[in-house]
Structure 1
């Protein structure tokens, strides 16, 4: 019997594990992939918007040469933190269900990468699963083609190719800037009327310059309505006119959404639109006593409601509440 089982080994899940462990609680972390898998899925050369200090967990300094760290530095940092605290992380093991027993404890059923199904008992459960497994789909003809991806890793495979980027967030801008460096012909198709105000301030002037110079084509107030093998069809949201563009690859960088299935199966109450779990923001406890929410899974439709710098504090609230709950046997 564990005191706490945490589902998800992202930064917020690791932070919750550390905070609980520091209180003397026995902790096991269940992770479907590798630790901080969401960061692993970021573009290879991505630089964070946040400072390294804002990404720290467990009071372990995140020392980097620059103010804003890169993806590879974050991966090394979180590996080091998990090792420092000797966290028990079961990687490549997927949580399938959470059942609360009449006496108030929980049974967590999992499946390993080899297909073996296991069961664990715990007094408390923290759900800190991420959202990168579930991209926001466009729902248009051709989205299933091999030339379409919702993940951008690096520019090299697109050298000299005609690439359409759907979206106008930082991920779209960063991808466009990398792509033009390898000679790709880049067209951004964005529903907004202009460049997003949330673009990284140190990137925005360079991006605007590339548009002004014609290095990047940008179609605002537009959407892609069909993806064909050698072209895409766009539609203007102002007058409804359509345009066909030659195309080799499509990067549909339209964001991601958290997976709610595990929450729902555990009986966690959702908001009226079934989009956001109901929990006490002072303790992060859901409507199920002893079952807590941490990290981005606590957000609504917009996953950007919760960042690492805000979600990393959830673990401290959870640990404090567990220790202050009279029924806790820890």
Structure 2
């Protein structure tokens, strides 16, 4: 069985960037991805627009051309999937990594379809796979959605949107404009400061005029078939009619997978250990890249800030490889 120089877990923008860097330096590599290319972006809301401009989303100095000031989901899919085609990246799609184990200096990677050997492993799995659950009665009901794609199914329905981040605000505004009766349940005293600057005045004005109801310093406590129960800032309980709950409560990395590989998870936010100089974890030759580095602090890393990880990791791998060759000589 071939022993790869690098096996990359995850075909998101940063995983692709790692592959491009490996390819440029003549290292053998393979990306394993449980879904499609940039699977997380594929699952974003259909009409989502990025906060960043196109040049900040570029990888490997390949221009990201778009006519819009802020690229949208489809622009990004065309860009990243186009790179994978053009550069003929080595990808295995719809294959899930189950286990990563290490014997001596070689990793064995077991997937849903096969097994692979590699000298180095890069985990670049993002954080969009596991919803941050509310853990309240009724959360299992079919009317509860942790992923929002488009507003049309919610026309003329009574919608509760949980949260005040970009995803929650987008869902509230889009469903309201398609005829939904929207109520937002927000833990904090105001709309999140991280909401896109061109969207924040829109949601605040809709709330101020009463078009969208918002309960601040409030918490959803139960979901029923035809209603929801929430507690307001005074601790008083209210029940309102409801057809759908859009729980935009955020997402988490797969901590069980990280833990099972042997990576140390530190503190209450489960921040995975890595050396910021090399991106190497406490397991030698096992690296992290991209937003997975932040643990529960998923706001710490973005495409534009973590695309440097590929260069850092490959330089370290090359340095280690050269050192080993010199020792052998």
Fold in common (TM above 0.5)? yes
| CA positional deviation for 1:21 | 1.3
TM-score, normalised to structure 1, is 0.95
| CA positional deviation for 1:209 | 1.7
Q: Aligned partners of 2:281, 2:209: CA distance in 1, in Å?
A: 52
Q: Which of 65, 73, 76 is the matching residue for 1:74?
A: 76
Residue aligning to 1:162? 158
CA shift digits 1:182-222 (9 cap, x unpaired): 10000000010112211111111121221122211111110
Q: Which moved more, 1:25-34 or 1:197-206?
A: 197-206
Are the aligned partners of 1:322 and 1:328 in contact in 2 as well (CA < 8 Å)? no
Distance 1:274 1:205, change over 3 A: closer
Are the aligned partners of 1:97 and 1:110 in contact in 2 as well (CA < 8 Å)? yes
| CA positional deviation for 1:328 | 6.6
Residue aligning to 1:125? 121
Residue aligning to 2:37? 35
| CA positional deviation for 1:273 | 3.7
Residue aligning to 2:282? 287
Distance 1:212 1:227, change over 3 A: same
After TM superposition, the structure 1 = structure 2 runs for residues 302-321 of structure 1, keeping only pairs within 5 Å, are: 302-321=297-316
Q: Which of 131, 136, 139 is the matching residue for 2:132?
A: 136
Q: Aligned partners of 1:212, 1:261: CA distance in 2, in Å?
A: 43
CA shift digits 1:20-69 (9 cap, x unpaired): 11111011000011111111111000000011111101111001112210
Residue aligning to 2:257? 262
After TM superposition, the structure 1 = structure 2 runs for residues 1-330 of structure 1, keeping only pairs within 5 Å, are: 1-102=3-104, 104-112=105-113, 118-236=114-232, 238-273=233-268, 275-325=270-320, 326-327=323-324
Q: Aligned partners of 2:92, 2:312: CA distance in 1, in Å?
A: 24
Please list every run of 5 or more consecutive structure 2 residues that lacks an aligned counterpart in the other structure. Answer: none
CA shift digits 1:236-287 (9 cap, x unpaired): 1x32101111100000000001002222222122214470111110110111
Q: Aligned partners of 1:175, 1:123: CA distance in 2, in Å?
A: 44
Q: Aligned partners of 2:22, 2:281: CA distance in 1, in Å?
A: 17
RMSD of Structure 2 on Structure 1 (CA)? 1.2
